[in-house]
Structure 1
Amino acid sequence: MKEKNRVIIIGGGASGLFAAITAAEHGAEVVVLEKEKKAGRKILKTGNGRCNFTNTGDPSHSYHGTDREFARHVLALFTPQDTIAKFTAMGIYTTNKSGWIYPHSETAESVLTLLLWRLEELHVKVKCNETVTGIDKKNDVFTVFTKSWHYEADKVILACGSAASLTDKQLPYNGYDLIKRAGHTCISPLPALVPLKVKNGNMYKWGGVRTNASVSLYAEDIFIAKSSGQLQLTDFGISGIPVFAISGQALRLMEGGLKVSVRVDFFPELSDDALFALIKTRREQHPDRSTANLLTGLLPERLIHAVSTEAEEKSGFHDRTANGRHRNSNIPERETAYKGAKEQGLCGCDEIRILAETIKAFDVVVTGSQGFAYAQSVSGGIPTGEVSADTCESKKMQGLYLTGEILDIDGECGGWNLQFAWSTGYLAGKHAAEAL
Structure 2
Amino acid sequence: MSKRIIIIGGGAAGMMAALSAKKNGGEIIILERNDRVGKKLLATGNGRCNYTNRNLSINNYHGNNPEFAYSALSEFNVEMTMEFFERLGITPAIEDNGKVFPLSFQSSSMLDVLRYEIETQEIELITEAQVSEIKKRKKFTIILKDKRTFEGDKVIIATGGMALPSSGSDGNGYTLCKKLGHTVTDVFPGLVQLKLESGFLKSLDGVKFLGVAGIYVDNKLILEDSGDILFTSYGISGPPILQLSRTALEYINKGKSVELRVSIIHTRSQEELFQYLVNRFNFNDKKTVEIGLIGLINKRLIIPILKELNIDKNKNLEFLSKDEIRKLSQILTSWHFKVIGSQSWGNAQVTAGGVNTDEIDSKTMESKIVEGLYIVGELLDIDGDCGGFNLQWAWSSGYIAGLNAAKN
Normalised TM-score (structure 1): 0.89
The residue number in structure 2 matching 1:102 is: 101
* Structure 1 vs Structure 2 CA RMSD: 1.8
Which portions of structure 1, spanning 4 or more consecutive aligned residues, are displaced by more than 4 angstroms? 169-172, 316-319
In structure 2, C-alpha distance between the alignment counterparts of 1:384 and 1:247, rounded to whole Å: 22
Change (3 A) 1:171 1:161: closer
More off after superposition, 107-116 vs 293-302: 293-302
Cα distance, 1:125 vs structure 2: 1.1
Cα distance, 1:259 vs structure 2: 1.4
The residue number in structure 1 matching 2:40 is: 42
What are the superposed Cα offsets for residues 199-256 of structure 1, whole Å, 9 maximum, x if unpaired?
1223330101111111111234333211111111101100111111111222222222
In structure 1, C-alpha distance between the alignment counterparts of 2:353 and 2:313, rounded to whole Å: 50
The residue number in structure 1 matching 2:190 is: 192
The residue number in structure 2 matching 1:424 is: 397
The DSSP-based 3-state class of the residue aligned with 1:23 is: helix
Cα distance, 1:5 vs structure 2: 6.7
Correspondences of 1:33-432 after superposition (within 5 Å)? 33-98=31-96, 99-139=98-138, 141-148=139-146, 149-167=148-166, 172-312=170-310, 319-324=314-319, 341-342=320-321, 349-432=322-405
Change (3 A) 1:230 1:60: same
Cα distance, 1:278 vs structure 2: 2.5
In structure 2, C-alpha distance between the alignment counterparts of 1:281 and 1:389, rounded to whole Å: 60
The DSSP-based 3-state class of the residue aligned with 1:268 is: coil
In structure 2, C-alpha distance between the alignment counterparts of 1:195 and 1:376, rounded to whole Å: 10
The DSSP-based 3-state class of the residue aligned with 1:397 is: coil
Whether contact under 8 Å (1:384, 1:407) holds in the other structure is yes
Question: Structure 1 stretches of 5 or more lacking a match?
Answer: 325-340, 343-348
What are the superposed Cα offsets for residues 334-389 of structure 1, whole Å, 9 maximum, x if unpaired?
xxxxxxx13xxxxxx32221101101111111112111011111111112111111
Larger Cα-atom Rg? 1
Normalised TM-score (structure 2): 0.95
Whether contact under 8 Å (1:5, 1:154) holds in the other structure is yes
Instruction: Identify, as 1 or 2, the structure richer in helix.
Output: 2
Whether contact under 8 Å (2:90, 2:103) holds in the other structure is yes
Question: Structure 2 stretches of 5 or more lacking a match?
Answer: none
Cα distance, 1:260 vs structure 2: 1.6
More off after superposition, 251-260 vs 150-159: 251-260
In structure 2, C-alpha distance between the alignment counterparts of 1:323 and 1:231, rounded to whole Å: 33
Whether contact under 8 Å (1:32, 1:126) holds in the other structure is yes
The DSSP-based 3-state class of the residue aligned with 1:296 is: coil
The DSSP-based 3-state class of the residue aligned with 1:227 is: strand
The residue number in structure 2 matching 1:11 is: 9
Whether contact under 8 Å (2:288, 2:313) holds in the other structure is no
